[in-house]
Structure 1
Amino acid sequence: MSQMNNSQARVVDPVLTSVAQGYKNNAFVGGALFPTVAVSSRGGKIIQFGKEGFQLYATGRSPGANTKRITFGYEGKPYVLESHSLEGMLPIETLQEAQNVPGIDMSSTTISSVQDIFALRLEKQQADAARNQAAYGAGNKMTLSGASQWNDPDSDPVGDVETAKEAIRQKTGKRPNVGVIGAAVFAVLKQHPKIIERTKYTGRDVPTKELLASFFGLDNLEVGDAVFSDDAGGFSDVWGKDMVLAYTKTGTVKDRGEPSYGYTYQLAGYPLVEEPYFERNPKSWVFPVTDEVAPVVAGADAGYLIINAAA
């Protein structure tokens, strides 16, 4: 008899696992750039994209000649899923108090609290990957400073975004459909006189992210409001003062011909919740939750980074 693997050895709670898998915190926006793709193994090759789809080929064939062959996409750098585990604790006193109030399911609430922690960690990883200047070629990033930053009333946010869009189009044949901006950038754009000038015809007093998406020609514009605390107790914005534009196909990784910017690879069936158990000493129920996940940039040419968009 073969030895059980880690997944087979676990005793999974199917109900609470469905709670964990269905969880979504609307405060986090990294999935707009890195849609989740289920994978069957904890390691493999990132599907990246070449230039084959943009080349002109001599497709003619004479009688008896071999038919030319071409492949799309290729396996790039290896990826390794990261394993993350936490145990949520539910004291019996809290459970007993909650049972007196209809509609409160403390088991699900405990799992959601753990998922909040997982989601913030993943959001930070996605933001770090998207804001990594080294990931982009020289033509796929710009750094703003002084009068070019969007705090300055004479700056040109729409013009800067158009430059970014054209850079992506020239390298992929696709215009970006998604943008993510830091909260500080959103605050500046809402007050920018050139944006307000356009807004006055919409009946809105303040530009919304939906209006800004329309101005920039994007299907979706997300604002990264999430913050994280450092070891000293200070708080920082996860998405900083940058803007990331990307063409992201929210399909599956099998769409090899599409130059999609990024994915979040996640082991199929995860996150999972093992069967809860009771610990007598702290008099608490314990809910172990595990996830196997990693965000990857699959095609940096399909993205553009505007650095220090806000001062």
Structure 2
Amino acid sequence: MRMIFGVVLLIGIALAGFAVHMTQNYVNQQKAALAAAQANNAPTVPTVGVFVANRKLSYGDELKLKDIVVAQWPQNALPKGVFQNVEELFPKDQPGKRYVMRATEKFEAILAVKITEPGKEVGLQSRLEDGQSAFTIKVDVSSGVSGFLRPGDRVDVYWTGKVQGKDNRDQRTVTRLIEDSVKIIAIDQSSNEEIQTSSIARTVTVAVTQLQGASLTQAQSTGRLNLSLVGQRDDSIAELIEVDQKQLLGIEEAQPVAQQEAEKVCTIRMRKGAETVNMPIPCAGG
């Protein structure tokens, strides 16, 4: 009896195992069929080859051919300024080394805005556009936004000084916005945008036109300059801004009171007995 029970138990276990095996095969077949169907229905995205960094590149590094590799990039999502062939990146008609101006991570696309032009050293000249020059502004902890400025930031420049009053005698102290949204290209002696530590700058160099440079020179020699950091998304157009002490404190100038013209009185001297008196008479032409 025990033998028959054991045989039946073994047969049951074998059948259960067979059923589990068949179920697992069926599930695997369904998964494979579903994956194949999804692969056939997936849209094909066209790609093109672009140069990417094969290692992390830091500010000031020389860009060499061994530092780049070709990677496939979606054709409809190409960043502006990518390079797709060696002739574009290292043109034969423009010999010279190229340097990294902004840190680039491994497998990040090499972009034109992140490297210098062939033959140009990394520094101020690579950050100036046509018609621009570099102008240095002296700053301290209060006028230089307490060390939070970085190359690449934009600032408004305010001038504080004395101007002549309306009567050319009285002087008043005013603060006026003289330049708006000028680009910083260097802090002290560094044009590295990847500086992470804050420090109190002594000079800030900005990119300006010749006219702006002349205005800043005059302003710096006749008063005090202060910088105000502009937000990254601030596209507002600056208007004429000027504040003096009276406007700051809300003091209104007293308007001069017009003096009433005294009524004209005409008299004539007459003698009454021993006395001489002035008698009023109508004025001529009145």
* TM-score, normalized by the shorter chain, greater than 0.5: no
TM-score range, shorter chain: under 0.3
Larger relative contact order, structure 1 or 2 (CA cutoff 8 Å, min sep 6):
1
Instruction: Give 1 or 2 for the bigger CA radius of gyration.
Output: 2
- TM-score, normalised on structure 1? 0.16
- TM-score, normalised on structure 2? 0.17
Give the number of the structure whose residues are more often helix, by fraction: 1
